[in-house]
Chains A and B, each alone.
Chain A
Amino acid sequence: GAVVSQHPSRVICKSGTSVKIECRSLDFQATTMFWYRQFPKQSLMLMATSNEGSKATYEQGVEKDKFLINHASLTLSTLTVTSAHPEDSSFYICSARVDSNSYNEQFFGPGTRLTVL
């Protein structure tokens, strides 16, 4: 099956710094990737849809200036949490849609756990 990787898997940073998380599709091209956020013991909430070569589409309530998304190539999307604060601590998961797949399936990365001190 299609494989999606994320880097780093864990990151701890100080309040006020910026953190970049990478999401890569390893064996397929993805014009569309998605970023989710998961709080402890809760479900995934879609933050934004990342489209290669264009601006990301953010869900209501998600600050686009806070969570910068760049989809620079067909295999890479990045999420930058700018001026991170403790309330940004969460598990961030990306997914990628297989463009040729007709079953409406997304493949998920292993997640990145962000802790802001």
Chain B
Amino acid sequence: KAGVTQTPRYLIKTRGQQVTLSCSPISGHRSVSWYQQTPGQGLQFLFEYFSETQRNKGNFPGRFSGRQFSNSRSEMNVSTLELGDSALYLCASSAASNSYNEQFFGPGTRLTVL
């Protein structure tokens, strides 16, 4: 079974721009979660989608948004980029939206904002 894939792997943007990141979960998985990872803050939860519905949301500003498609693929959008948005963005998929279900992480998208 193919793992979680994320595209692009690396991205460089300038302040004020917007960016869209993509995540394809493991086949059959319906839950996709997004995380931001920075050296100072560690992993922080952004949001979770299950069957195209946002199930949970972390404490991030409205500039961070996401969606999930009927094939479970998910996209994350960040508008009006700030320098502090530079981070590794990870997505994780699981079979169901249940805290005991194991999450499988993708390799991440490294976003650099200049």
Q: Indicate whether A and B interact.
A: no
Which residues does A use to contact B, with CB under 8 Å? none
Seen from chain B, the residues whose Cβ lies within 8 Å of a Cβ on chain A are none
